[in-house]
Structure 1
């Protein structure tokens, strides 16, 4: 039986991945801030799901909880980092930006480094990070969120370069969703909001097919391509 740790598993994509992998026979370690939701998740598949209540914005405590969870699981073959937050912030209120910076940059980096080092020491393992198509360009409506996702995209690429240069045996996968029907999708008239189940399906397909970078769902690949190549003079008018 393979073991996976999913950080940010209380809802949305993380919870969907936990449920799907547990149903497929994986031993799942679910991590998140909301204990009641974690208990509910574990009770849905008690033979396959363990959990640890932890907050990535408290790195020392979170890393200790992760290490203890891996021991209880009996190892870790895959680590998926889904934790993230962001707010629309047209007024540029720093109080709204700070949680995105603390969660998506500071806390995210701590748990990603922990997982990579653990896999590196074993000479094998897969680290998957859920970034965003939003990380390809800046956003006037949610500046910190898009900027933090750009940070994650570049950090993951840096880890892939490290793995290639050192022949560490660690595989690093960047899973980039577009808009997904979760609490993170805020605003009026949102474009192509995808159901969680479909996003989870395509993420798992990308993982098991050996992809390094995967934009999900398929229609968002076109959006990602356009965002990447659209001249700034046009992008700023959108």
Structure 2
């Protein structure tokens, strides 16, 4: 018998699958949403607890709400829902198509999922809604729409937390502020790029403690603090000051 049920929305990434693996090891049944269910079959076959996999139409808010609602009722709810959906990209020409795609996924899709799960937890009377967010949302940045979308997610989660308090419901909203791991990976920086099992372990530990907001890995909290405190003229220069060509 499993002791709890967790829903992971956006379970095709390596981080989501490591979270699923560790949750399964803790005797948790899993409900996974991915764009292509067949693509994760080899992974889910390795898990020791019951796993149900459903398609995810992240670019169609009405459809994704329907998909989540049906699965929720079919499994009689879940104690935990983790949202790990996101799109990123950079082009110095700032094509609208790129920004539009990021906004559709990171803002419209994210809000639709969060709104849907929160209301289902209100009906259930309890639960924990968590989202893999990013410290990129602390300030603007060259990936214009991505940075802005993460600020949106941070504020949306805070608003849901306030609403749960007003309703006096035991619903925990957890904002998981992930460090700039994509950038660290691109630069090959091992100091800032911890192994995925460590990242997932810290996420699960923070969730079990019911934290409202926490940084993963913990060293990124210092980076976040410094980022918030930098005057704009220094922060802006850090991004845009042209490098001198070597002669």
Q: TM-score, normalising length from structure 2? A: 0.89
**Is the CA contact 1:86–1:97 (under 8 Å) kept in the aligned structure 2?**
no
The aligned counterpart of 1:96 is 98
The aligned counterpart of 1:123 is 125
Change (3 A) 1:62 1:185: farther
The aligned counterpart of 2:179 is 178
Instruction: Find the residue that maps to 2:45 and give its secondary structure.
Output: helix
Instruction: Find the residue that maps to 1:206 and give its secondary structure.
Output: helix
In the aligned structure 2, how far is the partner of 1:67 from the partner of 1:231? 45
Cα deviation 1:89-124 (Å, max 9, x = unaligned): 222111222221111000110010000001112221
In the aligned structure 2, how far is the partner of 1:227 from the partner of 1:31? 34
- Which ranges of structure 2 fall in alignment gaps of 5 or more residues? 239-247
Cα deviation 1:36-88 (Å, max 9, x = unaligned): 33322322226421110112211222222212222343321111101111102
Instruction: Find the residue that maps to 1:131 and give its secondary structure.
Output: strand
Change (3 A) 1:189 1:143: farther
- Structure 1 residue 185: deviation in Å? 6.7
Could you tell me which of 27, 34, 37 is aligned with 2:36? Answer: 34
The aligned counterpart of 2:76 is 74
The structure that has the greater radius of gyration is 2
Q: CA RMSD in A?
A: 1.9
The aligned counterpart of 1:205 is 205
The aligned counterpart of 2:107 is 105
Runs of 4+ in 1 over 6 A off after TM superposition: none
Cα deviation 1:8-53 (Å, max 9, x = unaligned): 1011222211111112110100101122333223222264211101
Change (3 A) 1:73 1:180: farther
Q: TM-score, normalising length from structure 1? A: 0.92
- Which ranges of structure 1 fall in alignment gaps of 5 or more residues? none
Moved more, 86-95 or 147-156: 86-95
Instruction: Find the residue that maps to 2:89 and give its secondary structure.
Output: coil
